[in-house]
Amino acid sequence: MLIQRGNEQLMFDCGEGVQRQMIKVKIGFHKKTKIFISHMHGDHVLGLPGLLQTMALMDRQKKLEIYGPEGIKRFLEDTREVLQFALTFPVEIHEIYDAGVVCQEEEYAVEAAWSNHVIPSLAYAFVEKPRPGKFYPDKARALGVPEGELWSKLQHGDKIKLSDGRIVKPDEVVGPLRRGRKIVYTGDTRPFNGFAKLAFDADLVIHDATLDNTLSEKASEDGHSTPSQAAEGAKKAKAKKLVLTHISARYADVGLLLEQARKVFRNTLVAEDFMKLELPLLEC
């Protein structure tokens, strides 16, 4: 899963051949990039060495940040040593040992929670910070605030002092804060305590649904979820949209899984290669 946000991209898990998929959909190798690995199973991490090599061949210069559970650093160091490939850019590796905020940027944060797979595994929530409210120029002019620097200060939440000594507060000319978008990615997991909190009020939840409901015991044994379990989690979290992913190859037709999920949570889709979803900025 890849989040494209302005000139930055955030990738969640990195399976085999990811660089080939990126080339097919014309995703650049030079943008500011962060990669978040859920767990150390091959289908979620083996694409990293190839991606790093491709980025180096493309003469990437920007730093690449990689986050993941214990073992991710040793995996990459050992792979580079065995394959003997050089990089043209710095790689910063963050091993995650505790749940909570693992990445903090000016406009967003990424939170991690321990999920419930057969090995230590992380679920992630990408959470945008609230944006300033809508600015009302007519209100500012009516209060005698000259256009320019003082408008900017009000828009950024600072009160100002006019030449006549009057104080103008932001809430006099700016609407309420506009909440940011929230996207949750579970990786491979059974249902787990803490999911509802991690995913609360998410605009989009991307959830493991490997096997259909009739195979719930097998799903649990293998550390996965069913469509109904994913839907129940999304419903409990009051999420807006659910996308089922990590579907077993035994299903040539995913209609059954979609039907099972939609009985619980109507706004559900099944992930497809190259699926693109737009999440517009929220105005309230």
Whether residue 183 contacts residue 126, with contact meaning beta carbons closer than 8 Å, is answered with yes
135: which DSSP letter?
B
Alpha-helical runs (H) found in 65-145: 72-83, 137-142
C-alpha 69/C-alpha 179 separation (Å) is 30
185: three-class secondary structure by DSSP: strand
Going by C-alpha positions, the residue among 185, 75, 76 that lies closest to residue 122 is 185
158: three-class secondary structure by DSSP: coil
Rounded to an integer, what is the distance from CA 260 to the centroid of its chain?
25
Catalytic site includes residue 273: no
The first and second tokens of residue 198, run together, are 């991690």
Going by C-alpha positions, the residue among 41, 33, 40 that lies closest to residue 92 is 33
Q: Beta 100-104 vs 108-114: how paired, if at all?
A: antiparallel
Length of the chain: 284
Q: Which residues are catalytic?
A: 43
